[in-house]
Amino acid sequence: MAADWDAGGVVREICIGWEEASEAEVVELRFLGGLHRLVLTGQAPELAPYYRNLGGTRPPTDAWKAALGVVAAYAARLHEDLAIVPQTNEVGRTALLVLALYRAAAALGRQRIRLLEVGASAGLNLRVDRYRITSGQWAWGPVNSPVHIDGDIGVPIEPVPVEIVTRRGCDLNPIDPSTEQGRLRLRSFVWPDNVQRYRRLEAALYVAARVPVIVDQSEATPWLLKRLADPVDDDVVTVVWHSVVWQYLAVAERQAAEKVIEAAAMRVPVVHAQMEPIDLTRIGRTLLTVTTYHGGVSRTVTIGESHPHGLPIRWFGSL
């Protein structure tokens, strides 16, 4: 692609108007997402043999030759699709996130959970109790779930039973997994050589079709204000969680959201679980940090860390 750009070829033509885009706008990923959608929808059969997620086995060495023909034939579409911001929903992260539910139950003595997710994307991780997560002797979720994530924590955890009684999410741009367009969007941003992630996503989409979840279109703070004011039973603990989202919020917005959570904690038991990169300015190791609020006192514990896509995870040994 870079060589074609340098030579003033069709890649440059497609990227007209994007020449000054910043690195953070990831124009190359937008481009490849668009190309992937052409393959996924059967419009580029000559490229499918190179896409491992679709069963392709051809080596990538001569893929560009095949891609160039597709790129030229669909130049206008690929240009239009550059407006689509890469967006994923990584179910692998639930292997670490689930520990936040245990922490909430252990610290606040309540096993019934109201789960609220900020930046939920398609809401796939809100269905965490429909996924099988295992690690050595320890297991969570239904045995027959099509989603099976082996966290390989390597240490036994003594989990308390928890039950998610309500769940709801918000996102600036929610993806509806019940639509073909929503599913296509999610699939297209899982790269073809990430076969395991792709299969996991497919399985999670199957679950999503059977377990409806509301993801409201909203910024974090106004949504939290509203949702945390909803009535809730005394024996329920509210878990607000987010994964790989905080970096997209301005510092002031993060602080405002945290204030809303703290204020709610004066009325009801609340836990704030953050699965976020150690350094919010770049992709790298991701930590799960959980703050529990109880009787006006807050306590923050870092429970574990993981690869940004969730696996492998490392548990730090306490809940």
Ligand X SMILES: C[S@@+](CC[C@H](N)C(=O)[O-])C[C@H]1O[C@@H](n2cnc3c(N)ncnc32)[C@H](O)[C@@H]1O
Residues that bind ligand X (CB under 6 A): 87-90, 93, 118-121, 125, 170-173, 219-220, 243-245, 248-249
CA distance 167 to 210: 15
Shortest distance (Å) from residue 112 CB to ligand X? 23
Shorter beta-carbon distance to ligand X: residue 70 or 290: 290
Q: Which residue is nearest to ligand X (CB)?
A: 119
Shortest distance (Å) from residue 88 CB to ligand X? 6
Shorter beta-carbon distance to ligand X: residue 4 or 171: 171
Q: Tokens 């073809």 appear where?
A: 192
The upper half-sphere exposure of residue 161, i.e. CA atoms within 13 Å in the direction of its Cβ, equals 3
Strand partners, 113: 164, 237
Shorter beta-carbon distance to ligand X: residue 252 or 297: 252
Shortest distance (Å) from residue 141 CB to ligand X? 18
Shorter beta-carbon distance to ligand X: residue 38 or 244: 244
Shortest distance (Å) from residue 16 CB to ligand X? 26
Nearest to 44 by CA among 78, 74, 72, 70: 70
Contact 64, 10 (CB under 8 A): no
Q: Which amino acid is at 116?
A: L
Where do runs of H (alpha helix) occur along the chain? 2-6, 10-14, 27-40, 63-73, 75-81, 94-108, 180-188, 195-210, 220-228, 251-264
Shortest distance (Å) from residue 94 CB to ligand X? 9
Displacement of CA 56 from its chain's centroid (Å): 26
Shorter beta-carbon distance to ligand X: residue 123 or 192: 123
